């Protein structure tokens, strides 16, 4: 496919410069000129889609507990910014609805990584698909819904078949074509540090886009782009800027 989306995107909203998966991170990425962001999506205990990476709360909020067992009213009270510095104190775990609205307001494209807690794969995928369809209705560029979970992507496809999907892997497997075909994906997302030029070229020759994460070194970024990689997600927003691919 011809990749119509930004080629450099801010990982988890604001890369390493802001508390991940927060509205502040998305605002920061946009303020630096990034036209695309990636963030993680999980369901709270009451089924609210929220932006968070880990299944547990400790790392980014200091609280104890599991996201999937905590209702959003409780998650909303937690501080998801202080761990990154006093500047970010008081930043909250945002809902997908609020993050999507902010992306639309800022004109920022989104790669939504569906990151379900164990046992919640289908529910998370279905919720992501339904809400993404609503939030990006009429948008020039729809978000790409990506996931490591086949079940989550199947549910997202059932809920919103028109939205593009990407399959996430660490290292590209020998049978990479099978899941891309069965899930009707537009892109394969892989660990940039484990990418191989011949495989990247094979995937692209088959008509799929390739997205690499998390690429923080300019030399690696130039190499991957030279191999034909369509999109890079980076934490190093101050080193690999939004126009790096040009």
β-strand 187-191 against 49-51: which pairing, if any?
A: unpaired
Locate 130 and state its tokens.
């339904």
Phi, psi of 112 (to 5 degrees): -95, 110
Phi, psi of 41 (to 5 degrees): -125, 130
User: Angle 118-120-125 (CA atoms, 0-180°, nearest 5)?
Assistant: 120
CB 81 within 8 A of CB 19: yes
Concerning whether 53 is annotated as a catalytic residue, the answer is yes
Other CB atoms within a 10 A radius of the CB of residue 226 amount to 9
Locate 222 and state its tokens.
């130039």
* Active-site residue identified among 3, 45, 53, 106: 53
State whether the Cα torsion 11-120-132-166 is positive or negative. Answer: positive
Concerning whether 120 is annotated as a catalytic residue, the answer is no
3-state secondary structure 124-142: HHHHHHHHHHHHCCCCCCC
Scan for tokens 């690429």, then name that residue: 215
* Active-site residue identified among 8, 9, 11, 52: 11
User: Angle 31-37-39 (CA atoms, 0-180°, nearest 5)?
Assistant: 125
Q: Which residues are catalytic?
A: 11, 53
């Amino acid at each position: 496919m011809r990749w119509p989306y930004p080629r450099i995107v801010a990982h988890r909203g604001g890369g390493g410069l802001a508390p991940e998966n927060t509205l502040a991170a998305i605002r920061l990425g946009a303020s630096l000129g990034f036209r695309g962001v990636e963030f993680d999506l999980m369901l709270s205990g009451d089924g609210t889609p929220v932006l968070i990476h880990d299944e547990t709360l400790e790392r980014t909020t200091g609280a104890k507990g599991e996201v999937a067992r905590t209702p959003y009213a409780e998650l909303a009270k937690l501080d998801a910014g202080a761990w990154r510095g006093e500047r970010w104190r008081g930043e909250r775990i945002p809902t997908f609805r609020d993050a999507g609205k902010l992306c639309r307001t800022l004109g920022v494209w989104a790669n939504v990584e569906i990151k379900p807690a164990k046992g919640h794969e289908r529910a998370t995928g279905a919720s992501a698909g339904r809400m993404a369809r609503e939030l990006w209705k009429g948008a020039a560029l729809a978000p790409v819904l990506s996931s490591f979970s086949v079940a989550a992507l199947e549910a997202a496809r059932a809920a919103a078949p028109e939205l593009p999907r990407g399959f996430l892997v660490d290292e590209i497997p020998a049978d990479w074509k099978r899941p891309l075909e069965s899930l009707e994906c537009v892109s394969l997302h892989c660990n940039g540090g484990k990418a191989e030029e011949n495989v990247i070229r094979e995937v692209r020759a088959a008509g799929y886009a390739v997205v690499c994460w998390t690429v923080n070194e300019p030399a690696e970024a130039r190499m991957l782009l030279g191999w034909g990689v369509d999109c890079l997600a980076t934490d190093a927003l101050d080193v690999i800027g939004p126009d790096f691919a040009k």
